[in-house]
Amino acid sequence: MDKKVFALILVVVAILISGLLPPCYAQEATDPLASIGEAMANVAEKAKQVVVNISTTKTVKQQPNPFFDDPFFRRFFGDGAQQQKRKVTNLGSGVIVSRDGYILTNNHVIEGAEDIIVKLYSGRELKGKVVGMDSRTDIAVIKVSETNLPTIAWGDSDKLRVGEIVFAIGNPFGLSSTITMGIVSALGRSGMGITDYEDFIQTDAAINPGNSGGALINTKGELVGINTAILSRSGGYQGIGFAIPSNMVRNIMDSIINVGKVTRGWLGVQIQQLNPELARQFNLPDEKGALLVEIVEGSPAEKAGLQRGDVIVEFEGKKIEGPSQLKNMVAMTKPGHEANIGIVRDGKPMTVKLIIGELPSEDGRQESRVSPTFDNSMRGVSVQEVTDELLQKMGITKKVRGVVVTAIEENSPALGILNRGDIIMEINRKTISGLKDYNEIVSKIDKSQSILLLVLRGKSSVFLTLPAK
């Protein structure tokens, strides 16, 4: 039912009651409505204090004017006219999740940002630093240097029900602390093509540009989702918004903060959606489950004895409706965990125990999409953790620990000094054993300091110096 229609009905009912009943009865009848309104206002007042405005700036290349391709113009303006750049700003929202300054937002809100300004509910502005980003779920964690901040309670998104009332809080079109109300329209939305791992909460609470990264809360004031996208033909609100469930968000956030990288579980299988014909061919009672099409050699699935044609119908005691659900559940399971998997093989149900592996990235390295931003000479350098698989791929036989350079932005002070593929083993004579060391050490280097690096380039070690920014 449309919210405006529902509100009108409530008003009509209240008028009828007040006109037909004695004053004392009319007062008793309308008091519950006032109580509900008061309770909702209290929840909103507390929750909006933990939602922040995030403003970012970054440099982008402008499409060069085609006139500059003409030799006549290039004679006067030279090739420099081809390299036009401009600053762009972006607005979004974030949610404070710890008293010492950790803030959740969307990856697309801060991706590529050179400067991040966080505006608190009180109006204070603070400089934000990227702790970690995960484009595959569109989640990012930033941090401000502040203590004693207000925080929000976590809700259990697995307990959400369709029809439950929710509030969306954010900064649409730069209008700070905007609160809209709606219901949970659907759960488990996937196949939208928004992110790699989709398990969206769909809501009709008004979400508009600028709401990205804001909070979706329940009537208890608990965080149940991070607003991330809308489905719209006009670019504005049309009653269909999507939020990332809080349980998925918390899993990614904990991995970024505590491990220094995003880790995901991995089975090593290619899966397929079932249809009525496939269900008959594999002697299944219905189309629920995930059909195994391929098993990766040496993967956890192969080691556990899974076979092509098996259908996974249960994971850790939970029924599997389809491939997307299984993909998300496995990804959220910590590598090394022993999982119970229910399968159907040749029409017979079986249970298999399996040790969850860690998802490799597309180029064979272990998944690690943390890309910090620092205000010093390491700005614009993206790194990943060094693993045994990576060393083997690079043909390095000796034991090396550190981080490998995966990308260097064009405006980075390190461009032309560091190379993609360099393994950073020491920074300012301090050993780098992984991403956690790297983030901790680099974050404490002032922009006025030069940086001494020990890197492994190819098979030779070399010292490099990055001059002060």
The closest of 66, 192, 5, 107 to 370, measured between CA atoms, is 107
Specify the amino acid at residue 76. Answer: F
What does the block give as tokens for 245?
A: 């469930």
Q: Which of 108, 199, 255, 299 is catalytic?
A: 108
DSSP state of 197: S
Exposure string for 443-460, b = 16+ CB within 10 A, e = fewer: eebeeeeebebbbbeeee
The closest of 149, 150, 164, 270 to 217, measured between CA atoms, is 164
Greatest Cα pair distance, the chain, in angstroms, is 92
Contact present, 124 and 102 (Cβ < 8 Å): no
Specify the amino acid at residue 112. Answer: G
Contact present, 125 and 116 (Cβ < 8 Å): no
What does the block give as tokens for 465?
A: 């110096």
Contact present, 227 and 204 (Cβ < 8 Å): no
Contact present, 14 and 30 (Cβ < 8 Å): yes
The closest of 116, 111, 99, 97 to 53, measured between CA atoms, is 116
List Cα–Cα distances, 190 to 35, 202, 208, 307, in angstroms: 37, 10, 20, 26
List Cα–Cα distances, 33 to 37, 38, 229, in angstroms: 6, 9, 32
Specify the amino acid at residue 320. Answer: I
The question of whether 138 is a catalytic residue gets the answer yes
The whole-angstrom separation of Cα 139 and Cα 194 is 12
Q: Which of 93, 176, 212, 368 is catalytic?
A: 212
Q: Which of 55, 93, 134, 138 is catalytic?
A: 138
What does the block give as tokens for 357?
A: 């592996």
Specify the amino acid at residue 142. Answer: I
174 φψ region: left (φ > 0), alpha (ψ -120 to 50), beta (else): left
Which residues are designated catalytic?
A: 108, 138, 212
